Copies of this chain bind each other. A is one copy, B any other.
Amino acid sequence: MAENPVRAAVMPEPGAPPEVRRYPLPPLEPGAILLKTLASEVCGTDVHLWHGRLAGVPYPLIPGHVSVGEVAAVHGEVHDVEGVPVRVGDTVTFLDVHGTCNACWYCLVAKAGTRCPYRKVYGVTMGADEPPGLSGGWSEFIYLKPGTKIVPLAKNVSPDAFIGAGCGLPTAVHAMELARIQLGDRVLVQGSGPVGLSCAALALLSGAGWVGVIGSPEKRLAVASAFGADWTTDVMETTVDERLRAVRDATRGYGADVVIEASGNPAAVPEGCQLARDNGRYVIVGQYTDNGDALINPHLLINKKHLTIQGCWGSDFSHVYRAMEVLSRFGRQVDWSALITRRYGLNDVAQALADVEARRVVKAVIIPD
């Protein structure tokens, strides 16, 4: 075998173009797993990594924080989260992208795992040159350290469906948990990216009586409709007042019982408060980077409306686990692989990042071959 047989796409430093580098296969310590990568997601976070917008990231970096692979080797007896032994040849994902420390105040007292300051995320917080290496999914192989949580792909879930759902689906599962949708609720989703589309799908699967989506461009809204949304509108071609009137009309004048913000646009927030009914719930899950301030009237939009606003950050293991359940259960109703617009090889990750940034694709996937 060649000395450095493993090819990986690497971000050398903030702002620099990604390149393909070669790495050795590290020896497996007891409890470790070597995964042959089948597919790895490109998500908006990777664009931020590319531009160096996240603090505390060790470069050079092999990105790729949600991936599916085939177990190539395992050292000793390793179990998945339900206690089943992991075998060579299994198709699995690894969910320690959500590894929390279980030792700090946020983990133990506040029970706010997604705010744990010591989270370790493959493809984000582990540098390519830190031993043992191979710590991201844009690589032919991924080295899973002992203790990494392994989840086998359900038999009827394809790698395409899993990666199409990507990290947006667990995030949406988290948002749904906080949205507490009841049978018949009218739900309005702001945003038609991967998180917004997953929120719309999950609202429908949760028994919502009506689901509307405000987004853009048209082809993303078409996916929302294909998922079953009752109403969509293009945010670029309508005014706030028009949207407010349309949602009021669709909700007998009350406004939506539940609004989910998944747009990333600060201006969506005051609009979302208006779209919600009095005493409704508003889950804000899309403001993942600092895009500035919003002007909000706390009397009219919060206090007098008796509104509940819930910020929703990230996802934890339970959300990934439930995401797998959803993919397995409802794969015939909702085709998450339809979110994948295009697949890219390791040499094409720069193109993939550019396409995601320009919203030319809904979901880009790296196939490291």
Alpha-carbon gap, A210 to B154, bound state (A): 14
Interface string of A103-119 (1 = CB under 8 A from B): 11110111110110000
- For A286, what are the chain B residues with a Cβ–Cβ distance below 8 Å? 303
- The interface-forming segment of A4-12, A86-94, A294-302, A344-352 is A294-302
CA distance A289 to B300 in the complex (A): 8
Q: What's the least CB distance linking A36 to chain B, in Å?
A: 24
Q: Which B residue's beta carbon lies closest to that of A148? A: B103
Q: Which of A136-185 contact B (CB under 8 A)?
A: 147, 149, 173, 176-177, 180, 182-184
Contact A183 B296 (CB under 8 A): no
Distance in Å: Cβ of A163 to nearest Cβ of chain B: 19
Asked if residues B293 and A296 are in contact (CB atoms below 8 Å), the reply is yes
- Chain A residues bordering chain B, tally (CB within 8 A): 78
Looking at A68-76, A217-225, A321-329, the stretch in contact with chain B turns out to be A321-329
A41 within 8 A of partner (CB): no
Contact with B along A287-324 (1 / 0, CB 8 A): 11111111111111011111111111100111001100
Say how many copies of this protein the assembly contains: 4
- What are 26 of the A-B contact pairs (CB < 8 Å)? A81-B103, A103-B149, A108-B149, A108-B318, A110-B278, A111-B279, A183-B325, A184-B322, A184-B326, A184-B329, A205-B207, A207-B330, A209-B325, A209-B328, A266-B298, A269-B298, A287-B304, A289-B299, A290-B299, A294-B296, A295-B295, A296-B296, A302-B311, A303-B313, A306-B311, A308-B311
Apart from A306-B311, A308-B311, A309-B311: 6 A-B pairs, beta carbons within 8 A? A100-B102, A109-B322, A266-B297, A285-B303, A290-B299, A306-B313
Q: CB within 8 Å of B: which residues of A?
A: 81-83, 100, 102-106, 108-112, 114-115, 147, 149, 173, 176-177, 180, 182-184, 202, 205-207, 209-210, 252, 254, 261, 266, 269, 277-279, 284-300, 302-313, 316-318, 321-322, 325-326, 328-330
4 nearest A-B residue pairs (beta carbon): A184-B325, A112-B279, A287-B303, A309-B309
